[in-house]
Amino acid sequence: MGRQRIGRLRGQVIAVIVAAALAACGSNSSTSSPATSEARGTLYETPPVRAASLDAATLNADLAATTSGAELLQVTGPPICGVDIYYLQFWTVGGAGESTLDSGALMVPTGAAPTCSGPRPIVLYAHATQTNKAFNIANITDPTNTEGPLIAAMFAAQGYIVVAPNYAGYDISTLYYHPFLNATQQSDEMIDVLAAARTALPATFASSTSDNGQLLITGYSEGGHVAMATLRAMEAAGMKVTAAAPMSGPYALEALFDAVMFGDVDLDSTVFAPLVTTSYQHEYGDIYTATSDLYSPTYATGIDSLLPSTTPIATIFAQGLLPETALFDSTTPTVTVPGDGALSAALTAALEEPPANSSPEAPIFDLGFGSPGLLNNSVRVDWALDAAADPDGEDAPLTGAPAAPTLAAAPPVYPLRNAVYLNDMRNGSWAPTVPTLLCGGDQDPTVYFSLDTDTMVAFWSSLPAGLITKLDVSAPPSGSFAAVQTGFQMSQTQELAFLESAAGGGLSATAAQQELIENYHTSVAPFCALAARGFFQKVLAE
């Protein structure tokens, strides 16, 4: 989740990094040969193409020469190593088991510093939601690719080998859909790209840099869910993982989706809806018979092949193919529970559009309603009936019982809710066995901290002390992450002042605050990445 918006700082920084990269880029001089096998995890082309090569000194100087670059350096710190970025192509499978060629990035540290060569740890990174089907995290010349440069500067330039897939459905993948929030497919894909990267590493220009066997898993937003699912899958398979740091991810999916269906509509929900329903339709086959079962007539035609797309999302909104914010219709559906008028009334009331000023989030939630809404009212009714019969532990307002961090007692009957249940990280009662950091921000309007990070921490409350670490970047600074929290909060103050200034558009205080909230989810990313790096360093030093 968390469709990436390009911030003022990050959008400018990409141009700086691109200039440095293009000055020193080159392809591998060796002759590449394609693999004859399509077995998953097989590297398609050996050696892989080197897409860019960045010298640490030049990169540092170019970044320091600009205001935005200097701001990035304040978060990441100066580069210690140079970075070679390789474009990986490898085989994996889609949600329905389809074989597909996939792609991603291998970022290898280079340079004379002791931490830049020899045996080094690997950071396996999962990116946030993208609507652009052509997205390629290895292509740092793409101004919409905010995460590629960030992880290069944050991890690779500090001596970590970085491996990151583009995900099935993107770039060269032949899938016309993306297996969005599909825990099994996406974790398998992460394992596949790691296998391909380990095959590729000895064949790169930086062959003196090798895998030391220490594996660190992280990812942001959708990638946070992917990172946690990957940790679970690797532990189940007996693979060695050193530590993990999922960031701002939708882990407790059932609790989150229940909240959204009852009116707490998160930002970008109209993008997430077609991605998730198409994904689960390919995985389970029972989400709908026709798209009109779920979607209003205005949007139903072609929605199952709409995203990801090479058409910019702003154009898709402008063409009326998706509403920008109206997930639900403004007309409240009526819920009827045979023989139970009180419950019928309670469920109907729970589906009402949030009244103005009912909570600090009400202005955001209110954006999720319009005419017509994206989803049919019948979807909300069916979901409400299922949630009432088999509530998630976090559905306390619905049931009147104390909130609990537990899944529904039994698999839901409504197919879409059941698919969400199956991909919830609480399913199976798994718990990490390695140090795990959960980082995010409690003002996030896209992935709710209280229903995801807090719920998982509570779900794992019986684990040994110190195994799970929680970080809220918006909380009062304290402890080992105080500098990260202070840095994030200062950046928010500075961004608010910028938005209110003439240079930032001269917005009113109210409008500037709204803009700040809408960009909050993206703004957290570099600071959680910094926290993840510090966390990894601490674990590796122990």
pLDDT digits (tens, 9 = 90+) for 306-353: 999 999 999 999 999 999 999 999 999 999 999 999 999 999 999 988
What is the pLDDT at residue 125?
99
Q: At a CB cut-off of 8 Å and minimum separation 6, what does 197 contact?
A: 88, 104, 106, 122, 161, 163
pLDDT reading at 24 higher than 60? no
- More confident: 205 or 33: 205
Residue 499: pLDDT over 70: yes
pTM above 0.85, yes or no: yes
- pLDDT value of position 146: 87
DSSP string, 178-235: --TT-HHHHHHHHHHHHHHHHHHGGGSTTTTEEEEEEEEEEEETHHHHHHHHHHHHHH
Distance of CA 136 to the CA centre of its chain: 15
Is residue 15 predicted with pLDDT exceeding 60? no
In the predicted model, is pLDDT for residue 258 greater than 50?
yes
Burial 327-338 (b: 16+ CB within 10 A, else e): bbbeebbebebe
Looking only at the bridges linking them, the beta strands covering 33-34 and 45-46 are: antiparallel
Structure confidence at residue 366 (pLDDT)? 86
Q: Are β-strands 436-440 and 243-247 bridged in parallel, bridged antiparallel, or unpaired? A: parallel
The pLDDT of residue 358 is 55
> In the chain, what are the domains?
29-51+84-250+428-541 (3.40.50.1820), 253-422 (no CATH)
Q: What pLDDT sits at residue 56? A: 93
- DSSP strands (E only) in 238-349: 243-247, 328-329
| pLDDT score recorded for residue 400 | 83
Work out the pLDDT band at 483, boundaries 50, 70, 90. very high
Q: Which is more confident, 58 or 120?
A: 120
State mean pLDDT over 134-162: 93
Rounded average pLDDT over 402-406: 94
Task: Extract the tokens encoding 187.
Answer: 């974790």
pLDDT above 80 (res 33): no
In this structure, the strands spanning 161-165 and 118-126 are parallel
Query: What dihedral angle (degrees, nearest 10) is formed by the CA atoms of 42, 47, 48, 51?
Result: 170
In the predicted structure, residue 138 carries a pLDDT above the cut 90: yes
Rounded mean pLDDT of 295-299?
98
By mean pLDDT, which of 59-73, 97-111, 322-336, 430-444 is the weakest? 59-73
39-60 pLDDT, tens digit per residue, is 999 999 989 999 999 889 877 8
- Mean residue pLDDT of the chain comes to 91
| Angle in degrees, 0-180, between the axes of helices 377-389 and 253-261, rounded to the nearest 10 | 130
Work out the pLDDT band at 27, boundaries 50, 70, 90: very low
Integer Cα distance of 507 and 216 in angstroms? 42
Mean pLDDT check: name the lowest of 64-78, 151-165, 285-299.
64-78
Angstrom distance (rounded) from CA 144 to CA 6: 7
Q: How confident is the model at residue 14 (pLDDT cuts 50, 70, 90)?
A: very low
pLDDT of residue 68: 62
What is the radius of gyration, based on Cα positions, of the chain?
Answer: 23
The answer, yes or no, to whether residue 23 has pLDDT greater than 80, is no
Question: Average pLDDT in the 488-515 region?
Answer: 94
- For the chain, the maximum distance between any two Cα atoms, rounded to a whole number of angstroms, is 76
Average pLDDT over residues 269-286: 98
pLDDT at 356: 55
Q: Are strands 49-54 and 82-93 parallel, antiparallel or unpaired?
A: antiparallel
> CA 128 to CA 484: how far, in whole Å?
21
Mean pLDDT of 368-388: 97
* Mean pLDDT value across residues 258-280: 96
pLDDT greater than 90 at residue 144: no
